[in-house]
């Protein structure tokens, strides 16, 4: 398969590839074997910059034995702005959803009851709207932890690794 794209389109593709690479691996401490084939394809496409007069954007790191975006790329790329905006959106969406689910479960009779799903869904809408209004107006300024965390090993925080 051959795909023909202009230098401008290739430059845009570099942004897209960088966004994909950061989303797939930027938050991981360890290499994720599930995405090895994707990272290999990104490397193959990054390597094309060397022959397209865009080597000022993608360079080869001999120590890491891979192609990496250069400082020039980082400064001229839309990628990090887009990733930052997405991260902010995801943060607020997850915070609102989790707080809404927690509060709705408590109102509907407790999170441990399996038969409360329909009751909880009825009360979620107004709660969600209240959180949206609060966070739109005040951000995290009014958030507070009102109980101490269980030192006895309660539920651990969720991470990607």
Q: Does residue 157 carry a pLDDT above 70?
A: no
Query: How many C-beta atoms surround the C-beta of residue 124 within 10 A?
Result: 18
* Exposed / middle / buried, residue 79 (Cβ in 10 Å: 0-12, 13-18, 19+): buried
pLDDT confidence of residue 24: 85
pLDDT band, very low/low/confident/very high, at 115 (cuts 50, 70, 90): low
Give the pLDDT confidence of 33-63 residue by residue, as tens digits: 888 899 999 999 999 998 777 888 999 999 9
C-alpha dihedral over 130, 135, 136, 138, to 10 degrees? 120
CA distances to 16, 17, 27, 43 from 22, in Å: 10, 9, 7, 13
pLDDT band, very low/low/confident/very high, at 159 (cuts 50, 70, 90): low
* Exposed / middle / buried, residue 132 (Cβ in 10 Å: 0-12, 13-18, 19+): middle
């Amino acid at each position: 398969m051959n795909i023909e794209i202009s230098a401008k389109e290739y430059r845009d593709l570099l942004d897209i590839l960088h966004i994909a690479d950061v989303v797939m691996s930027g938050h991981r401490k360890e290499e994720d074997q599930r995405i090895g084939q994707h990272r290999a394809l990104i490397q193959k496409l990054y390597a094309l910059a060397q022959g397209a007069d865009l080597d000022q954007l993608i360079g080869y790191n001999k120590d890491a034995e891979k192609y990496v975006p250069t400082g020039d790329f980082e400064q001229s790329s839309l990628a990090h702005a887009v990733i930052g905006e997405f991260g902010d959106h995801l943060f607020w969406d997850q915070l609102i959803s989790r707080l809404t689910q927690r509060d709705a479960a408590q109102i509907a009779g407790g999170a441990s009851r399996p038969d409360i799903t329909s009751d909880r869904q009825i009360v979620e809408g107004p709660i969600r709207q209240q959180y949206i209004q609060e966070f739109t107006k005040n951000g995290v300024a009014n958030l507070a932890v009102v109980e101490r965390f269980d030192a006895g090993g309660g539920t651990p925080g969720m991470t990607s690794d």
